[in-house]
Amino acid sequence: MASLSNLSRVALKIQLKTVGVRTLASTAAQSTKSKKTLAKPNIRNVVLVEGVRTPFLQSGTDYKNLMPHNLATKSLVGLLKRTGVDKDLIDYVVYGTVIQEVKTSNIAREAMLSAGFSDKTPAHTVTQACISSNQAITTGVGLIAAGQCDAVIAGGVEFMSDVPIRHSRMMRKIMLDSTKAKTPAKKFALLKRALSPAAWSPELPAVAEFSTGETMGHSADRLCTAFGISRQAQDEFAIRSHQFAADATAAGLLTDLLPYKVPKVAEYITKDNGIRPSSMEQMSKLKAAFIKPFGTITAANASFLTDGASACLIMSEEKALSLGLKPKAYLRDFVYVSQDPQDQLLLGPAYATPKVLDKSGLSMSDIDVFEYHEAFAGQILANLTALDSDVFAKNFLGKSSKVGAPAMDKFNLWGGSLSLGHPFGATGVRLVTTAANRLIKENGQYGLVAACAAGGIGHGMIVERYP
């Protein structure tokens, strides 16, 4: 399939319909309630019993003196307390994370032990960029569907307040060679190498693609240019996300939140601290963050570096019912997609959405709740534009006509990653849990979760409300 760079940018702008928040909201079609179920013969039903998370906080704030396993442990303990399930009934624990703390490289295991689980309970950690906890969930689904487990905790954690900063490769080699230097001459030679200024230059982590060397923000800016997404549309969407998150918080809808007590601090943390409703006047004052001075991505219409952890309990349906638990949702079909990370890095939802709908036999009109990961406002609008484009459908999806964009009156109504925060490894559980909670609150049947991730990867999942 041709990459986006092989298309005429000008022709693409002309033919693709720029999707604005107001236009979508005013033309949203009413969903037709479906009565069919997505249960498959000879495959165990997997249910979401409950999902929780710590408050998501901007990095460098109240969590800054902790370690990531502290947050992960809290999500585990809080989940068991919320559900009343004995930890000895858990067959497996799997967590997602992106930037690992080297002291707790298998953070799922370390958090599980810190939470008081039996050392006989196995656990492992997965990483798949921003969809790491999506992968944790689907790993658990696979274990249960295959009959290997009955009850799995899937979660994720990210801690951007203390990322590993490495010595230069030159210095690392010097340190390793020093263990073998036995003679004064060899030690003096190492000292001379160590005095080089280049040896003392640290390697700082960056949210960048190894294969292209480009930061995600640069990719997002180019994506917005290709799809004709204006700065105004991006700022409007960001304001929408923050306002919806503020409204949901005030209304007590974010029931997945666990109060967190930081040691030596009197008050509990009970809210996400990155929610900041703003105005177009304030937003317009911010300068481009990546492609200067003409880029459209700013600090306010992009997700921010975040600390946080999440966890969910998934079970076979029969196991949950035998314990007297009332599940929130069935976890149905899911897909992973991937494409060119150079030009299509952030288009995961545009590829995953039609694929998971086809797999489940559903259409966009069957979906009552959409929960998409908001890496950037422009990234969301570009994906919605692609879904609403016949050109994109024919050239990139192999379809005769467009899939259609989600109705905005069903889309991320309790805020999203732009406002709530985006701990890379933990966002997937938040998306799935929020989809389930919204289905219950809004009396819907089907939810669709979709997300993009570094490497040009994407994910889509169908969540069905439990009867």
Give the position of tokens 């994910």: 459
Provide the token pair at 408: 């905005």
Q: How many residues in the chain?
A: 467
* Catalytic-labelled residue, pool 130, 149, 224, 312: 130
Q: 149, 224, 312, 452: which is the annotated catalytic residue?
A: 452
Q: Is 312 a catalytic residue?
A: no
Q: Is 452 a catalytic residue?
A: yes
Which residues are registered as beta bridge partners of 279?
none
Cα separation, 182 vs 159, in Å, equals 40
CA distance 314 to 318: 12
Tell me which residue of 216, 230, 209, 208 sits closest to 295, measured CA to CA: 230
Backbone phi, psi, residue 351, to 5° = -90, -40
In the structure encoding, which two tokens stand for residue 73, read together? 């442990």
Query: Catalytic residues, which ones?
Result: 130, 452
